Amino acid sequence: MDLTEAVREHERLFNDSVRSGDFDDFVATFADDAVMRFDDVPVGPFKGRDAIAKAYASQPPSDTMSIWSIEEVAAETALARFDWDAGGSGTMQVTWRDGQVAELTIAFNS
């Protein structure tokens, strides 16, 4: 798996979803048993594609991101550093399994 390509596709789908308000295509990339976590934010974790879809439906993000660094940290796992387009920055660690997102951990920098 080309991790850089996978992260760029994740970024593209996320940003397209934020712009359109429709997260269906983005959420479809998550495995049925995927887990999405936020570090130091009192929300989640969200376990399972359905719970992740509900999270995006109930509190949709309003800002797009621009990734500026991608590094492989393990097999099928990448750490991406990004800036929010309206200001601020963060990291996300994504692990894929069989081509689907199995784990996503997002951290916001202060």
Per-residue pLDDT tens over the stretch 27-72: 999 999 999 999 988 888 999 999 999 999 999 999 999 999 999 9
H/E stretch holding 105 reads strand 100-109
pLDDT the model gives residue 41: 82
In sign, the C-alpha dihedral spanning 81, 83, 84, 89 is positive
Predicted TM-score (pTM) of the model is 0.94
- Angstrom distance (rounded) from CA 53 to CA 75: 26
Per-residue pLDDT tens over the stretch 76-104: 999 999 999 999 999 999 999 999 999 99
Write the DSSP symbol of residue 43: S
- Please choose, from the candidates 105, 74, 89, 87, the residue with its C-alpha nearest in 3D space to the C-alpha of residue 10: 105
Cβ partners under 8 Å of residue 1, min gap 6: 76, 96, 99
Q: Which residues pair with 4 in a beta bridge?
A: none
Taking 80 as the threshold, does the pLDDT of residue 110 lie above it? no
pLDDT the model gives residue 1: 85
Measured from the Cβ of residue 96, the count of other Cβ atoms closer than 10 Å reads: 22
pLDDT the model gives residue 83: 97
Taking 90 as the threshold, does the pLDDT of residue 109 lie above it? no
Q: What domains does the chain contain, in order, with CATH numbers?
A: 3-109 (3.10.450.50)
